[in-house]
């Protein structure tokens, strides 16, 4: 244990800050579980962007969820200032003893300085101002050497919390309304729980996506092996266009639910699926949180850092491209990734059938 670890019996309320995208926020969920297990008396709040709040809402270890509006910056100066002031006052009223900041976003440093918490921890970062903002800092090991979940948990380790293995799983609670809606739609489509594959081929980043023709061939092969497929995507025009291209090339079209599910419903759907197949994206992490066997297609990003967490899975990635994972937005920054575009359908199909067969044996 760190010699400067705080006495948790003197701490009563904590704020965990994660200002990133959906998948990033979901990967913080074990922090709340581990913190609650270590200090059951502690009230634990979170601060995230409003559009990512579903990733933590209903988490059993979370007491209160604060949000920052993504659109605040588009408002007038006065409206933006009022929104920020109201948020700060609501945070200040909670009288936090502990702040756990999980990125290098400057807002975390300002909150550590202005909210009066006795203990504050953040990633180690160069700069005197940053260092003076927190009572504790934790080192972040270089990219590709440690999973993001473990890096998040390092914040707790730095202040004397050693997370047990059983507290490190992802947690996402869909809620009864989402479950009921998905069950209704499955019933109408004559699908039973465990009787279909959930395929989410899209990502907000096009360079993480498999080509439409390959995705269509995979769906046809899964159908040929007796597995029905439900395909999903976010409601964005780009993701819907990719799905339309895939469906249009299928011999036997899948059930197309793209653009029609919220994040909680996406979780409920994954929980009912026999298998999830998809790109390196938030829905992949959602499937892992629902403990659904997962086939994840990786290109430029690294599976050691971002792969499916604590779930039966197969990562399918090119073994012919020594440059991956490069972390670039496509080859040469060109938004297209050879390592994904040349990924064989048979390799993905084999991984999927292997996990499906293992599930049947259980």
What is the set of domains in the chain, with CATH numbers? 8-167 (3.40.50.2000), 176-361 (3.40.50.2000)
User: What per-residue confidence (pLDDT) applies to 143?
Assistant: 64
Alpha-helix runs per DSSP H in the chain: 22-26, 29-38, 77-93, 106-114, 128-133, 148-158, 176-188, 212-224, 237-248, 263-272, 282-289, 303-306, 338-341, 345-361
**8 A C-beta contact, residue 35 and residue 160:** no
Angle (CA) 21-280-247 rounded to 5° is 110
The per-residue pLDDT for 145 is 81
How much is the pLDDT for 2? Answer: 78
Contact 30, 170 (CB under 8 A): yes
Peptide bond into 57 cis (omega under 30): no
Task: Provide the percentage of residues in the chain whose pLDDT is more than 90.
Answer: 93
pLDDT of residue 222: 98
- The confidence score (pLDDT) of residue 361 equals 62
Q: What angle do CA 347, 169, 180 make, to 5 degrees?
A: 85
**Three-class SS of residue 43?**
strand
Rounded-to-integer distance, Cα 182 and Cα 257, Å: 11
- The answer to whether the CB of 114 falls within 8 A of the CB of 88 is yes
- Helix, strand or coil, per DSSP, at residue 116: coil
Cα–Cα dist 23/16, whole Å = 16
> Which has the closest alpha carbon to 208: 316, 332, 329?
329
- Could you report the per-residue pLDDT of 32-88, keeping only the tens digit for each? 999 999 999 999 999 999 999 999 999 999 999 999 998 898 899 999 999 999 999
Ranking 215-219, 305-309, 323-327, 352-356 by mean pLDDT, the lowest is 323-327
Contact present, 98 and 15 (Cβ < 8 Å):
yes
pLDDT surpasses 70 at 246: yes
Distance, CA of 257 to CA of 154 (rounded, Å)? 38
Contacts of 265 (CB under 8 A, 6+ apart): 174, 178, 181, 182
pLDDT in tens, 342-360: 999 999 999 999 999 987 6
**Cα(254)–Cα(228) distance, rounded to whole angstroms?**
7
What does residue 109 show for φ and ψ, rounded to 5 degrees?
Answer: -65, -40
Is residue 268 within 8 Å of 181, Cβ to Cβ?
yes
* Mean pLDDT of all residues belonging to the chain: 95
> Residue 252: is its pLDDT beyond 80?
yes
Number of DSSP helices (H) and strands (E) in the chain, helices first? 14, 12
Those residues whose C-beta lies under 8 Å from the C-beta of residue 278, and which sit 6 or more positions away, are 198, 199, 200, 201, 284, 287, 294, 295, 296, 297
| CA atoms lying within 13 Å on the CB side of residue 359 | 22
pLDDT band at residue 362 under the 50/70/90 scheme: low
First-residue to last-residue Cα distance in the chain: 41
Q: Are 6 and 159 in contact (CB under 8 A)?
A: yes
CA–CA gap between residue 35 and residue 62 (Å, rounded):
10
Tens digit of each residue's pLDDT (9 = 90 or more) over 131-182? 999 999 999 986 668 999 999 999 999 999 999 999 999 999 999 999 999 9
Residues in a beta bridge with 295: 277, 314
Q: Is 176 exposed, middle or buried (0-12, 13-18, 19+ CB in 10 A)?
A: exposed
What are the backbone dihedrals phi and psi of residue 197, each rounded to the nearest 5 degrees, phi first?
A: -105, 130
197: helix, strand or coil: strand
Residue 152 has a CB neighbour count (10 Å cut-off) of 25
With beta carbons less than 8 A apart as the criterion, state whether 231 and 246 touch: yes
Say whether 64 sits in a helix, a strand or coil: strand
């Amino acid at each position: 244990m760190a010699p400067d670890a705080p006495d948790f019996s003197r701490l009563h309320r904590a704020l965990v800050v994660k200002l990133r995208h959906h998948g990033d926020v979901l990967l913080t969920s074990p922090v709340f579980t581990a913190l609650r297990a270590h200090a059951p008396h502690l009230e634990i709040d979170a601060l995230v962007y409003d559009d990512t709040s579903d990733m933590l809402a209903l988490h059993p270890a979370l007491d209160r969820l604060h949000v920052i509006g993504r659109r605040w910056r588009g408002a007038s100066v006065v409206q933006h200032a009022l929104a920020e002031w109201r948020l700060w006052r609501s945070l200040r009223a909670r009288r936090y003893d502990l702040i756990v900041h999980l990125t290098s976003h400057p807002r975390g440093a300002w909150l550590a300085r202005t909210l009066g918490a006795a203990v504050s921890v953040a990633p180690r970062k160069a700069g005197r101002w940053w260092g003076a903002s927190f009572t504790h800092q934790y080192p972040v090991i270089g990219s590709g050497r440690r999973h993001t979940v473990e890096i998040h948990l390092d914040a707790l380790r730095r202040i004397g919390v050693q997370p047990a293995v059983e507290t490190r799983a992802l947690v996402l609670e869909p809620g009864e309304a989402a479950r009921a809606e998905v069950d209704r739609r499955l019933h109408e489509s004559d699908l039973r729980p465990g009787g279909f594959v959930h395929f989410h081929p899209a990502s907000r980043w096009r360079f993480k996506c498999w080509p439409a023709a390959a995705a269509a061939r995979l769906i046809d092969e899964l159908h040929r092996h007796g597995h029905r497929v439900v395909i999903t995507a976010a409601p964005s025009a780009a993701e819907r266009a990719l799905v339309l291209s895939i469906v249009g090339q299928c011999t036997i079209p899948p059930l197309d639910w793209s653009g029609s599910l919220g994040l909680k419903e996406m979780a409920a759907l994954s929980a009912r699926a026999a298998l999830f197949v998809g790109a390196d994206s938030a829905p992949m992490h959602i499937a892992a949180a629902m403990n659904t066997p997962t086939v994840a297609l990786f290109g430029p990003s690294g599976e050691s850092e971002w792969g499916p967490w604590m779930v039966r899975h197969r990562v399918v990635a090119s073994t012919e491209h020594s440059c991956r994972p490069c972390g670039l937005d496509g080859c040469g920054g060109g938004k297209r990734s050879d390592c994904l575009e040349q990924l064989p359908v048979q390799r993905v199909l084999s991984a999927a059938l292997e996990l499906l067969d293992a599930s049947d044996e259980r």
